[in-house]
Amino acid sequence: MSKIKYQYNYFHGLTKIEVVSETTHFMTVVRGGVEMREKKSNYTTFDTFDEAKEHVIKKLNVSIENKKIALDSAQIDLRKMFILTEQDVRKV
Protein backbone atom coordinates (compact mmCIF):
# COMPACT_ATOMS: atom_id res chain seq x y z
CA MET A 1 0.00 0.00 0.00
CA SER A 2 1.43 3.36 -0.97
CA LYS A 3 1.39 6.49 1.15
CA ILE A 4 1.67 10.19 0.46
CA LYS A 5 4.75 12.05 1.68
CA TYR A 6 6.14 15.51 1.05
CA GLN A 7 9.57 16.27 -0.35
CA TYR A 8 11.55 19.47 -0.33
CA ASN A 9 14.48 20.33 -2.53
CA TYR A 10 15.97 23.60 -3.68
CA PHE A 11 14.94 23.36 -7.33
CA HIS A 12 11.37 22.08 -7.09
CA GLY A 13 10.32 23.44 -3.70
CA LEU A 14 7.72 21.39 -1.84
CA THR A 15 6.16 18.49 -3.73
CA LYS A 16 3.73 15.73 -2.85
CA ILE A 17 4.95 12.22 -3.70
CA GLU A 18 3.49 8.74 -3.60
CA VAL A 19 5.81 6.31 -1.79
CA VAL A 20 5.26 2.65 -2.67
CA SER A 21 7.94 1.20 -0.38
CA GLU A 22 10.95 2.31 1.59
CA THR A 23 13.99 0.92 3.33
CA THR A 24 16.59 2.59 5.49
CA HIS A 25 18.44 4.03 2.49
CA PHE A 26 16.04 3.91 -0.46
CA MET A 27 12.42 4.53 -1.32
CA THR A 28 10.34 3.64 -4.33
CA VAL A 29 8.20 6.55 -5.51
CA VAL A 30 5.71 7.02 -8.33
CA ARG A 31 6.56 9.88 -10.69
CA GLY A 32 4.48 10.36 -13.79
CA GLY A 33 2.93 6.93 -13.34
CA VAL A 34 6.36 5.23 -13.24
CA GLU A 35 7.87 3.65 -10.13
CA MET A 36 11.38 4.95 -9.46
CA ARG A 37 13.89 3.99 -6.80
CA GLU A 38 15.46 7.00 -5.09
CA LYS A 39 18.18 7.35 -2.52
CA LYS A 40 16.68 8.88 0.63
CA SER A 41 19.69 11.09 1.36
CA ASN A 42 19.09 13.01 -1.89
CA TYR A 43 15.85 14.51 -0.56
CA THR A 44 14.35 15.88 2.62
CA THR A 45 11.11 13.93 3.05
CA PHE A 46 8.28 14.47 5.55
CA ASP A 47 5.28 12.40 6.60
CA THR A 48 2.90 15.35 6.91
CA PHE A 49 2.33 18.63 5.12
CA ASP A 50 2.64 20.56 8.40
CA GLU A 51 6.09 19.09 9.09
CA ALA A 52 7.21 19.95 5.57
CA LYS A 53 5.81 23.47 5.73
CA GLU A 54 7.46 24.13 9.11
CA HIS A 55 10.81 22.90 7.75
CA VAL A 56 10.61 25.14 4.67
CA ILE A 57 9.63 28.18 6.75
CA LYS A 58 12.58 27.64 9.11
CA LYS A 59 14.95 27.15 6.19
CA LEU A 60 13.76 30.34 4.48
CA ASN A 61 14.02 32.34 7.71
CA VAL A 62 17.64 31.22 8.10
CA SER A 63 18.29 32.20 4.50
CA ILE A 64 16.79 35.66 5.11
CA GLU A 65 18.91 36.17 8.23
CA ASN A 66 22.07 35.15 6.36
CA LYS A 67 21.26 37.58 3.55
CA LYS A 68 20.69 40.40 6.09
CA ILE A 69 24.13 39.72 7.58
CA ALA A 70 25.71 39.73 4.10
CA LEU A 71 23.90 42.98 3.24
CA ASP A 72 25.11 44.65 6.44
CA SER A 73 28.67 43.58 5.68
CA ALA A 74 28.46 44.89 2.10
CA GLN A 75 27.06 48.22 3.31
CA ILE A 76 29.99 48.59 5.74
CA ASP A 77 32.45 47.83 2.93
CA LEU A 78 30.70 50.37 0.68
CA ARG A 79 30.90 53.09 3.36
CA LYS A 80 34.62 52.35 3.76
CA MET A 81 35.15 52.74 0.01
CA PHE A 82 33.38 56.12 -0.03
CA ILE A 83 35.78 57.53 2.57
CA LEU A 84 38.89 55.83 1.17
CA THR A 85 41.60 58.14 -0.16
CA GLU A 86 44.63 57.34 -2.27
CA GLN A 87 46.87 57.79 0.76
CA ASP A 88 44.96 55.03 2.56
CA VAL A 89 45.92 52.45 -0.08
CA ARG A 90 48.87 50.27 0.94
CA LYS A 91 51.88 49.82 -1.27
CA VAL A 92 53.07 46.23 -1.64
Give me the average pLDDT of each 10-residue run along the chain (92 residues).
90 92 94 92 90 95 98 97 93 86
Return the half-sphere exposure (C-beta side, CA atoms, 13 A cut-off) of residue 66.
6
The DSSP call for residue 24 is: S
Sorted by where each begins, the domain ranges of the chain are 3-84
Q: For residues 44 and 54, what is the distance between their CA atoms, to the nearest angstrom?
A: 13
- Assessment of whether the complete model's pTM goes beyond 0.95: no
